[in-house]
Structure 1
């Protein structure tokens, strides 16, 4: 398991947002806009083409992890391998463990598993959460907790639940980290202004 997990993590760690921003803009995406190493920030700060290429690259990482899981002789546990690619995307070794949010990598895994239904379902859950909460990170965190529970209630297979739960955990941890970071910055600025 360890060698497959490491391979998926390293593939997930390829920082397409960073590389594409360097190629298109010459700058460092970690110093632009929201400073997030992800598709949305690249699209806003560098342009739609750079954003689209970043999206494709990040989705490709999830697709590769799902392909590795299909070849790995690990039984049902192999369906957790895409979570390691998401972890690599979220905490890339090459960028001092500061990466993106993992959603595109998750969608890439869903597409590799020919599971468009689940990717769409997850996006609908996130969209509904966003309409109610109006906060990107909190909506993603809520969707990551809610979607696997809904999949369990709908009677999904053990393999599917392992995939959704492990992937959602990686996305939820990153979103929670982002929420706590924003909260810390907000309280620091309030203390400075006092």
Structure 2
């Protein structure tokens, strides 16, 4: 039920010449975007670790019997705390990506100073980068929804007379929402590859013009 975020490469600039003014502007902007995403990368790793630990605890909890009341209550509390911790890291990741997105405006300003061919490539990169950040925003929305359903499931585990059908229904909701989250992650990673390919092609064009 838990998801593991696929680590997506962020914008890098190794091997780029810094000679031309346009190239320097682009390099500076992309470096700032990359730096802004540092917290996003850090929180991805932490989220993945929390998810693995929570999944292990969840498996242990599901093996308890009705007689293990104290242990069940303790585990449910730990599971709930874990979901809250994940949301805190998600908020930090979201803030990091929002900060990075602000540099899209600088890309567009650089495009205004470039020749038509390079301008077109910069704007194409800008559009793809914007779509990437929008996909991350969609991911955070869907992830929050997933976490909320998981919390509801954990709360049901402590109810004395909860029916198996009720638990199964909630588990189905989790699986359905997890599918949505995974789909968004796949789209985000595909868009990240597209952004990096466009960035590489742009700098290759700038180097060829020197």
| TM-score category of the 2 structures, normalised to the smaller one | 0.3 to 0.5
User: Higher relative contact order at CA 8 Å, sep ≥6: structure 1 or structure 2?
Assistant: 2
Larger radius of gyration: 2
When normalised by structure 1's length, the TM-score is 0.34
When normalised by structure 2's length, the TM-score is 0.32
